[in-house]
Amino acid sequence: MNVPPTSTLREGRAVIARGIKGQPRWFALAVVGSVVYGVMTSLTAAAIGFVVERAVAPAIAAGHVTASQLWFIGGVMAAVVLTTIVGVIGRRIAGGVAMFNLGAMYRRQVTRQYLRLPLSWHHRHPSGQLLSNANADVEATWNIFAPLPMALGVVVMLVFGIVQMVIVDPWLALVGLTVFPMLFLANVAFQRAMSPRVTRAQQLRADVSEVAHESFEAALVVKSLGREDHEAERFRVVTHELRDANIEVGRTRGRFDPAIEAIPTIGTLAVLFVGTLRVSSGQLTAGQVVQVAYLFSILAFPVRALGWVLAELPRAVVGWKRVSAVLDATGSMTFGDRSLPSGAASHLQAERLAYAYEIESETGEPDLNPAVVDVTLDVAPGATVAIVGPTGSGKSTLTNLVMRLVDPDSGAVLVDDVDLREVRRGGVSDVAALVAQQTFMFDDTVRGNITLGAERDDESVWRALDVAQGAGFVGRLPDGLETHVGERGASLSGGQRQRIALARAVIREPQLLILDDATSAVDPSVEQAILARLREASSGTTVLVVAYRMATILLADEVVYMEGGRVVDHGSHDALLGRCLGYERLVTAYAREAAEREAIAAAEEHDEHGRGADAAEEVSR
Amino acid sequence: MSMRSQVLVEHHGVATGKEMTTWQTLRRGVELSPELRKGIWVTVLLAVLSTLGRVLVPFVVQRITDNGLLAEGGPDTQVVAVYIGIALVGVAVTAVSAYFVNIRLFRSSENGLATLRLRAFRHIHDLAMLTQNTERRGSLVSRVTSDVDTISMFVQFGGLMLLINLAQISLATVLMVVYSPLLALVVWLCFVPLFVIIRKFQGIVGRAYTKVRERVGDMLGAISEAVVGAQAIRAYGVEDRTAERIDAAVEAHRKAAIGAQARSVVAFTSGQLVSGLTTAVVLVVGTVLAAGGSLTLGELLAFLFLVNLFTQPVQQATEILNEMQNAVAGWRRVIGIIDTPADVSDPGDAGVTLPRGPITVQFNEVGFAYPGGAPVLHDIDLTIAPRSRVAIVGETGSGKSTLAKLLTRLMDSSSGHVLLDGVDLRTIRFSSLRSRVVLVPQEGFLFDGTLLDNLRFGRPEASEQDVRLTLTELGLDPWVATLPLGLATAVGQRGESLSAGERQLVALARAYLADPDLLVLDEATSAVDPSTEVRIQRALDSLTRGRTSIAIAHRLSTAQAADEVIVVDAGRIVERGHHTELVRLGGVYSKLHESWVAQQQAV
Ligand SMILES: Nc1ncnc2c1ncn2[C@@H]1O[C@H](COP(=O)(O)OP(=O)(O)OP(=O)(O)O)[C@@H](O)[C@H]1O
Ligand SMILES: Nc1ncnc2c1ncn2[C@@H]1O[C@H](COP(=O)(O)OP(=O)(O)OP(=O)(O)O)[C@@H](O)[C@H]1O
Ligand SMILES: [Mg+2]
Ligand SMILES: [Mg+2]
């Protein structure tokens, strides 16, 4: 209630102006159609009067009717009807086209922002809300273009009607004129009441979408922990809030609608009353009063169209605010115009990199969580460097910095002596490829997931798959390379997804390959094979590999050991083993564990002399 | 594709509801939202009252004109005043009853739609995992959001207006017949073609709107990829390609929407055209009749007024029928999902409740094929003793996760039986099954909330104390202490504010806190660093004494610690036994172990 109506009106005007600017032609066409419709509607009464006077009445008076009279009646009426229809078609179709074009236009703009804005922005905005921005909010913004042309046409009608009334009798016209401002005031009050309610409903709509989206993405976890009821309850809460908000919107509408509808009728009655008095005093003929009353009743319905626009206005404004919050979001990366040299393995340097994630502190204020602190790297062209560190030590954050998925707070990443921030858009991914820790599959074919739209022949796709040890299983898929993997690769096993992700990187023959724990979901023998093939295939490639397993680490020329976001030590594996306790603990954990187990097992065997020796059984193949 | 898999595909997919007729859809829709019907007669009565008021006004205006203004011997002010009084009463009655109609309709429709939303949402979770996977998540979201929104406009006003329009059409017909049966017949004859057109266009418009709804689902699917896959898209610089894919979906939606709009405009304007032409025909025929003396000019003009009373609701009805097709298109999709059978369903009260305690697992000749695919598991016979700790190993894609999903009844086997404590899995109540058996899936998922909320997800009644105790037992308390806000740390959407390994730790602790008797871990520690993994392994070792645990792992350290190792290869169990024995056996496992050792021994 605290929103002043003028601001909604002003903001609403701005939204409308923006829409008109976006689709001027279709909009103009719709308004023209609407004007034709408006003029013809107010002419209908006159047309009937005209034919009655010219043909019907004479015919009745004469007691017989000629064919030409009938043609005249039918012709005039048909002409009026057809012109009206043309107006209606023009208005509705052009209005619809304008509306849907605007929707598509802004959906494109909004999603372009999704693609442009940095990852940190995405972290802050729930996917469900973003979906709602691109769908429900865009729709809410431009829905106003359905009644708008009609309403503008009505303005013409209004003027037309009022002029006619004034011509007939200014006094009666005055009665009419007092009714219209009343209508307008009622509408403004209506809007003022609607605005906050609609805002709330639209926010809740997005909340419903958010809960649904998250819950459906979590479907497997929900199922496996049997939490369906809990999720249903969570959804029930937002759904019922939305319901109550919508009922509130409805209640407000319910209050104003009948009043707004009654006003023109009251106007008609007032015209009749005043008219009768003036006829009594001989200033008017009965016919004139009837004509004005008729004009009035005809105008009453379309005038409500203006009401529809005003009723839609708050929703449009709210929708627009939510959409423009996305469109106005800043912080997207800036790019330079340099390209990275190609043709040879890259020289990767990181100079005192620091990066902290934005988080909320206990009091809800923004705070920072440092993930990478003062990291310096120098990876010679063609070298392989392993990054090792305990869980949460900042390895993935470092790979993201090296790929320029995020920019460091301080320090710089240089590839072949070029600061990544000076590289043109797309320049980094041209020479470098990252196989992320979390594989993401597109809802596409196996081929599409590997080539990502680039032109590649079958042979190179298979070669890449071969390196990633994926050729075997892809060959066995029902449609081979053309098999659809489903959303997020649902129809593949975890290791299969990971191998496709590897092939995706390999096929690009990158000069800088970054593997972030990219073999975690494959078994040891396959991993061995992948590493061996990678080694062959990537002789001209600089490799940065995040790994825990000794075999991977041993491929590296140098090991960088991280802890708490800092590089604790770096050097050859052997050197680190000797001098870095944390490193030694980490990489020998399995071996120590195995040794311990063996010792225990040996002791047990000693105790219970071969208790389970024959338990091993070969199950028939 | 074999017959069988064909059947499976049909069996597993989500019903589109396309096969339902409009009438069936409406009936089923009202059935699913009983609130729509509740007290509807009172609303109808009120609506009739408000319509009577609306019809009364033009009548009174006409009376005022005839008996007041045009009264013999000059206008009769008194008659006019009386009639205006009557009209004002009519206006008041209309306004008051319309107010109540509005409120009642809003309440019943919003309640009804909320019920529908909830029902659809719940049912989506009840659907079998594989059925869920046949739909994009974005498309599923649209079924409980925009599809339902599409219905609201129609159920709020349309349905009722349609009834009122019908009443008004009948009333106008009766009045027309009273005035001039012949002209009434003319009017009806003029409208016959319209009724034919409307019938035909109902189908066309309906299909067009159905297409729009589908395009909305596709569009949401495409857009969600840009949102959820933000990192992958940036890493590969495929923004342009993603943009193209989105644009294609947006464009398809725009085209479909304009197509539907154009069709509905044709349907609507044909109503207007026929109405207008009818007026013309009535004028022509009326003139002939009047010239013949069987009608006065006044009667003709009065009749024209009645024609207007007739055509107006017809026009409105054609508009509402269009709106109805739009609603039906949305309704079909929602009903479609609600009426998709939940293949893997809860036996409910008829089911068995397992007593607490360690669980025996048994597979009897279990086979499984994904819909439309070749068999993935063959003749699995397996018994896992209570209290044992079993590791399942095998090549990627050999069917380990599939086995785990059958065991936790995320899917039902294609042949054979899975038994827990000798009871067929299919007959165990979900409430019992899900609390006794918990799977930590390969792809863990965290909710956008605090760490504490996430840990408690499986057992909301757990106190913070319980949570802390569990973390201590698992040796995770030092890790939690390093987080900026400890248990109150927000994990972000999908847990993205944590590192991958940290997410797994949370998922593991979450499952452990749920306190199951059978814990199934599907590569639950694949991203955790070795020393943490070993530590957790040990903690679990001692903690899972007294329960049965099954762990799938590529890191053979898990297998070494297990009581028994089961080796899966190409969908069959090829070896089983203790680690040391299997190593000696020189089979599949010993080869896996060799590579594993080769990886470790390099120290
Ligand atoms: N979006 C984020 N917001 C806030 N903190 C984050 C975010 N992403 C990561 N962190 C924190 O930053 C630290 C480093 O995370 P990172 O993902 O780089 O670790 P990692 O070394 O890759 O770990 P892992 O081995 O588990 O993959 C962690 O403590 C993590 O909680
Ligand atoms: N939803 C699905 N639809 C069709 N096929 C599937 C589906 N899920 C898995 N598969 C196929 O079934 C086979 C076994 O998959 P499963 O996930 O059980 O393998 P896994 O042994 O767990 O492998 P990993 O070690 O890689 O996780 C694979 O060939 C896979 O492609
Ligand atoms: Mg990581
Ligand atoms: Mg698996």
The response to whether residue A360 sits with its C-beta less than 6 Å from ligand 1 reads no
pLDDT in tens, A558-597: 999 999 899 999 999 888 888 988 888 888 888 788 788 7
Chain A closest CA to B207's CA: distance in Å? 18
From CA A161, how far away is CA A39, in angstroms rounded?
9
Count up the domains in chain A and report the number.
Answer: 2
Q: Which residue has the higher pLDDT, B255 or B217?
A: B255
The response to whether residue B493 sits with its C-beta less than 6 Å from ligand 1 reads no
Instruction: Please calculate the CA angle A511-A513-A514 and round it to the nearest 5 degrees.
Output: 150
Residues B366, B332, single domain; the answer is no
Q: Which pLDDT value is given to residue B16?
A: 58
Query: Is B207 inside any structural domain?
Result: yes
Q: Residue A529 pLDDT more than 50?
A: yes
- Token output for A169: 């009798």
* DSSP assignments along B521-584, one per residue: EESTTTTS-HHHHHHHHHHHHHHTTTSEEEEE-SSHHHHHHSSEEEEEETTEEEEEE-HHHHHH
Q: Which pLDDT value is given to residue A410?
A: 92
Name the residue with tokens 């939305």.
A242
pLDDT in tens, A321-380: 889 988 988 877 788 888 888 888 889 999 999 999 888 877 778 888 899 999 999 999
pLDDT in tens, A165-220: 888 888 888 887 787 778 778 877 887 888 888 888 888 988 898 899 889 988 88
| Residue A231 contacts B where some CB pair is shorter than 8 Å | yes
Q: Please list every residue in chain A whose beta carbon sits closer than 8 Å to the beta carbon of residue B138.
A: 131, 213
- The H-assigned helical ranges of B229-371 are 230-235, 239-291, 297-338
Residues B367, B317, single domain; the answer is no
Q: Which pLDDT value is given to residue A333?
A: 76
Q: Which residue has the higher pLDDT, B180 or B599?
A: B180
- φ/ψ region of B409 (left if φ > 0, alpha if ψ in -120 to 50, else beta) reads left
Residues A311, A370, single domain; the answer is no
CATH number of the domain that A131 lies in? Answer: 1.20.1560.10
pTM of the model: 0.86
Count up the domains in chain B and report the number.
Answer: 2
Boundary (domain end) residue, out of B278, B304, B338? B338
Question: Would you say B424 and B346 are in contact if contact means Cβ atoms under 8 Å apart?
Answer: no
Query: Is B231 inside any structural domain?
Result: yes
Mean pLDDT in residue range B141-161: 84
Q: Determine the structural domain holding residue B393 and report its residue range.
A: 361-600
Query: Is A224 inside any structural domain?
Result: yes
Query: Is A422 inside any structural domain?
Result: yes
Chain A closest CA to B408's CA: distance in Å? 7
- Token output for A134: 């691109």
pLDDT in tens, A211-253: 998 899 888 888 888 888 889 999 999 999 999 999 998 888 8
Residues A418, A280, single domain; the answer is no
Model confidence at B8, in pLDDT bands (50, 70, 90)?
very low
Q: Ligand 1 pocket test: which of B485, B489, B499 has the largest number of ligand atoms within 8 Å of its C-beta?
A: B499
Residues A320, A404, single domain; the answer is no
Q: Residue B187 pLDDT more than 50?
A: yes
Residues B477, B377, single domain; the answer is yes
Query: Is B350 inside any structural domain?
Result: no
- Token output for A14: 């701005």
Residues A363, A320, single domain; the answer is no
Its sign, for the CA torsion B494, B496, B497, B502, is positive
| Residue A335 contacts B where some CB pair is shorter than 8 Å | no
From CA B278, how far away is CA B173, in angstroms rounded?
14
Boundary (domain end) residue, out of B338, B369, B395? B338
The response to whether residue A45 sits with its C-beta less than 6 Å from ligand 2 reads no
Residues A416, A554, single domain; the answer is yes
From CA B375, how far away is CA B368, in angstroms rounded?
6
Q: Residue B69 pLDDT more than 80?
A: no
Q: How many CB atoms lie within 10 A of CB B77?
A: 16
Tell which A residues from 410 to 469 touch B, by Cβ distance under 8 Å.
Answer: 425-426, 428-430, 433-434, 436-438, 440, 442-443, 452-453
- Ligand 1 atom nearest the C-alpha of A390 is 25
Give the lowest-confidence range in A513-517, A527-531, B40-44, B537-541: A527-531
Chain A closest CA to B471's CA: distance in Å? 16
CATH number of the domain that B547 lies in? Answer: 3.40.50.300
Q: Determine the structural domain holding residue A482 and report its residue range.
A: 348-603
Residues B124, B210, single domain; the answer is yes
Q: Residue B116 pLDDT more than 70?
A: yes
Boundary (domain end) residue, out of A294, A327, A360? A327
Q: Residue B114 pLDDT more than 50?
A: yes
Interface contact flag, A487 B430, Cβ < 8 Å: no
Query: Is B347 inside any structural domain?
Result: no
Residues A321, A412, single domain; the answer is no
This complex has an ipTM of 0.87
From CA B542, how far away is CA B544, in angstroms rounded?
6
Query: Is A363 inside any structural domain?
Result: yes
Q: Please list every residue in chain A whose beta carbon sits closer than 8 Å to the beta carbon of residue B230.
A: 114, 119, 122
- Ligand 1 atom nearest the C-alpha of A359 is 4
Mean pLDDT in residue range B178-188: 86
Model confidence at A618, in pLDDT bands (50, 70, 90)?
very low
Strand-pair partners of A512: A432, A542
Tell me the average pLDDT of chain B.
85
Give the lowest-confidence range in A37-46, A421-430, A600-609: A600-609
Residues B56, B164, single domain; the answer is yes
Which three-class secondary structure state does DSSP give residue A221? helix
Chain B closest CA to A56's CA: distance in Å? 6
Residues B68, B137, single domain; the answer is yes
pLDDT in tens, A269-317: 888 888 888 888 878 787 778 777 777 766 766 667 777 787 788 888 8
Model confidence at B221, in pLDDT bands (50, 70, 90)?
confident
Instruction: Please calculate the CA angle B82-B85-B87 and round it to the nearest 5 degrees.
Output: 115
| Residue A268 contacts B where some CB pair is shorter than 8 Å | yes
Query: Is B351 inside any structural domain?
Result: no
From CA A122, how far away is CA A125, in angstroms rounded?
5
Residues A74, A163, single domain; the answer is yes
Residues B254, B395, single domain; the answer is no
- Token output for B590: 């010993």
Residues A256, A358, single domain; the answer is no
Q: Which residue has the higher pLDDT, B51 or B230?
A: B230
* Inter-chain CB pairs, A–B, below 8 Å: 573
Residues B266, B175, single domain; the answer is yes
Mean pLDDT in residue range A117-133: 85
Question: Would you say B343 and B205 are in contact if contact means Cβ atoms under 8 Å apart?
Answer: no
Q: Which pLDDT value is given to residue A468?
A: 85
CA dihedral A109, A110, A112, A116 (to 10 degrees): 130
Q: Please list every residue in chain B whose beta carbon sits closer than 8 Å to the beta carbon of residue A434.
A: 235-236
pLDDT in tens, A44-95: 877 888 888 888 888 888 888 888 888 888 899 899 989 989 998 999 999 9
Residue A518 Cα to ligand 2 midpoint, Å, equals 18
Share of chain A above pLDDT 90, in %: 25
Q: Ligand 2 pocket test: which of A443, A492, A527 has the largest number of ligand atoms within 8 Å of its C-beta?
A: A492
Which residue is closest in CA terms to ligand 2's atom 25? Answer: B396
| Residue A143 contacts B where some CB pair is shorter than 8 Å | no
Residues A257, A389, single domain; the answer is no
Strand-pair partners of A246: none
Q: Which ligand is nearest to the CA of A392?
A: 1
Q: Which pLDDT value is given to residue B6?
A: 31
Which residue is closest in CA terms to ligand 1's atom 6? Answer: B497
Using a 10 angstrom Cβ sphere, with 0-12 exposed, 13-18 middle and 19 or more buried, the burial of residue A378 is middle
Interface contact flag, B257 A103, Cβ < 8 Å: yes
Residue spans of beta strands (DSSP E) within B248-307: none
Name the residue with tokens 């922990």.
A225
Residues A225, A259, single domain; the answer is yes
Q: Which ligand is nearest to the CA of A478?
A: 2
Residues B537, B422, single domain; the answer is yes
Search chain B and give the residue with CA nearest A99: B258
Q: Please list every residue in chain B whose beta carbon sits closer than 8 Å to the beta carbon of residue A445.
A: none
From CA B372, how far away is CA A524, in angstroms rounded?
30
Model confidence at B56, in pLDDT bands (50, 70, 90)?
confident
Mean pLDDT in residue range B357-380: 88
Query: Is A337 inside any structural domain?
Result: no
Strands ordered across the beta sheet of A366-379? A366-379, A348-360, A410-415, A418-419
Q: What are phi and psi of B450, to 5 degrees?
A: -80, 165
pLDDT in tens, A394-403: 999 999 999 9
Query: Is A611 inside any structural domain?
Result: no
- Ligand 2 atom nearest the C-alpha of A476 is 29
Query: Is A240 inside any structural domain?
Result: yes
Q: Which residues contact A211 (CB under 8 A, 6 or more apart)?
A: A128, A234, A235, A238
Residues B331, B417, single domain; the answer is no
Query: Is B211 inside any structural domain?
Result: yes
Q: Which pLDDT value is given to residue A615?
A: 41
Residues B14, B98, single domain; the answer is yes
Query: Is B141 inside any structural domain?
Result: yes
CATH number of the domain that B331 lies in? Answer: 1.20.1560.10
Query: Is B353 inside any structural domain?
Result: no
Residues A417, A517, single domain; the answer is yes
**Residue A313 corresponds to which amino acid?**
L
Q: What are phi and psi of B464, to 5 degrees?
A: -60, -35
* Alpha-carbon distances, residue B131 vs A440, A443, B223 (angstroms): 21, 16, 22
Q: Residue B1 pLDDT more than 70?
A: no
Residues B309, B382, single domain; the answer is no
Q: Ligand 1 pocket test: which of B491, B502, B508, B532 has the largest number of ligand atoms within 8 Å of its C-beta?
A: B502
